[in-house]
Structures are given as structure tokens and as C-alpha cells.
Amino acid sequence: FHSPGRQQDTMRIALKSMAAFLALRGGTAAFTATRSFGVRSLVRAPTARFMSSDSGPMPHDDDKMPFYALGVNLARQVGGQTSFNTLLEDEELDLLLEGFSDSMKGTSIQSDQVVLATYGPALNKILQDRTERIVDRVKADGEKFIENFLDCNDDAVKTDSGMVYCEMTEGDGKQPDTSNTVEVHYHGTLTDGTVFDSSVDRGQTISFPLSGVIKGWQEGLAMMKEGGKATLVIPSDLAYGDAGSPGGIPPGATLKFEVELFKVS
């Protein structure tokens, strides 16, 4: 999750501000500290629960719909469901679409490079200011969630780092540290209950080096033993910070994990 600064930098102008809101859906486990990208199909096939013969009429004939679907896919990748709709007003979204269309068709009265060099810095400031306000709100919501979780769970403890650990089942085996590889089941949700990643839902455990995951996992797993199960509530500074993560984790988000530790090696 690398934050993406003259001509090449201008092309990336505002990506630091935007990246926090680009909720690209990915299959990599959400708790990993790094992500690798391979060759993927441009448009993912819809899952069965979204496919229905009764889905209703389409906006175009079948021979045109693949290209319409390409536009939908680009919009989902660039904007997600909560990004530009949150950051921009309707008139601003119309201007965004006009710029996209003119650039794609080559019909703009000014070159892309000149537009970006001239107005990229202003765009960057607008998006940065707006994203900071949203991140602050998300962080405040996370703090309230942690307070409420502690009030409702007598067994929960808040560590010096700010992480909350709540043991569900006591283990009796080996206790890991960052030199170990662990095999776990996990179920990760946002504070509103939205599931962003779950090995439980996939029905398959996962193994990984503990040194390669977010700090909240390193600390929380080190408090567990084989055979144990616990809830970890991880503030953003121990998770993905102000950048968030592709895969549905917003910037500044507090994360809740139910983790079951099967094996330490």
C-alpha cells in the first residue's frame, strides 16, 4: 500500500488524497502488510447471488452492453461506492466525467499535460482537505466503538498501544512471536459490522509469517496460544492508518477481528 509527485508527478497529482477512498476489491487477506498484484481479468465475473434472469431491463442492447459494462467496471475501480460520491458535489462529478470523456476521445481544447500541470495542485489541495475531514470523523467513530466495546465486555483489556484484546477461548499450546508462522481462521469487520475479509466465510484457514502483518495482529497473536480464540479491536494506527487498504478498509478505520489460532511453527 504505497502512497503514490512535474510531468510524471503531475499525472499522479492527488493520488495520495484519492487513494484512501479507492475501495478496489481484492482477494488478498486484508491484514497483510504488503500486497502483490498479478495478471487479472479486467472485469470480474459476478457472483451467483448477483446473477438473476429476473434482474430487469438493461440500458442497451446485448451487443452494446459489454462496452457499457467496461464503463461500470472503470467507475467501480476509480470511484468505488463511497469515494467520489462522498468527496464531490453533483456538479463536480459532472465536470469529472466531462474531463474523462474529453481525454478518452481526444476532444479537449487543451492538452492533458497542461491541464494537470496547471490545476493538479489545486485539485490535490481540495481532495486532501476533504479527505482529512472524513478521516478525522472515521477515527472518532473508532474511538467511540472501542469505548463501547470495553464497556460491554468485562474480559476485554486495552493494551498500552491502544489495541483491545478479548479472549473468547483460552489456548493451551505454543505462543507465537514475530519469528513464527501461524495458521489461523479470522473474520474481519468494520465498526459498522461490514465484513471486509474472512477466512471463515471462505471455509479455509490461512498461514503466514507473523512478521509480515499489521502491528495490531503482531501484538494480538502474541497474546494467544494454540487452540485459543480471541477478538482483537485494532485502531487505525496499528492497522492501515490514514491510507486505508484496497479491499474495503477505509482510511482511519478501526478494525475488529475474531481470530482462532490453530498452529504455531
Amino acid at 96: L
Better pLDDT: 155 or 22: 155
Q: How confident is the model at residue 40 (pLDDT cuts 50, 70, 90)?
A: very low
Q: Give me the amino acid identity at 215.
A: K
pLDDT tens track for 174-195: 999 999 999 999 999 999 999 9
Q: Where do runs of H (alpha helix) occur along the chain? A: 7-11, 15-19, 65-79, 84-87, 90-105, 112-152, 199-202, 215-221
**Strand 229-234 vs strand 164-169: parallel, antiparallel, or unpaired?**
antiparallel
186 carries an active-site annotation:
yes
Spatial distance between the Cα atoms of 216 and 234, rounded to a whole number of angstroms:
6
- pLDDT tens, position by position, 107-155: 999 999 999 999 999 999 998 888 888 899 999 999 999 999 999 999 9
pLDDT exceeds 60 at position 18: no
Compute the average pLDDT of residues 77-97: 77
**Catalytic site residue from 149, 240, 242, 249:** 240
- Name the active-site residue from 186, 234, 242, 249: 186
The 10 Å CB-count burial string (b at 16+, else e) for 21-40 is: bebeeeeebbbbeeeeeeee
pLDDT value, residue 34: 39
240 catalytically annotated: yes
Does the predicted model carry a pTM greater than 0.75? Answer: no
Single out the catalytic residue among 21, 31, 149, 257.
Answer: 257
By percentage, how much of the chain surpasses pLDDT 70? 77
204-231 tens-digit pLDDT: 999 999 999 999 999 999 999 999 999 9
- Which residue among the candidates 214, 234, 242, 249 is catalytic per the annotation? 214
Please state, rounded to an integer, the average pLDDT across all residues of the chain. 82
**Active-site entry in 197, 234, 242, 249:** 197
Question: Which residue in 196, 234, 242, 249 is the catalytic one?
Answer: 196
1 versus 69: the higher-pLDDT residue is: 69
Instruction: Read off the pLDDT of residues 48-65 as tens digits, 9 standing for 90 and up.
Output: 434 444 568 999 999 999
Is 257 tagged catalytic? yes
| Residue 21 annotated in active site | no
Cross-strand pairs, 190: 255
Determine the pLDDT at residue 215. 97
Query: Per-residue pLDDT tens for 246-257?
Result: 778 989 999 999
In degrees and rounded to multiples of 5, residue 2 shows phi and psi of: -90, 130
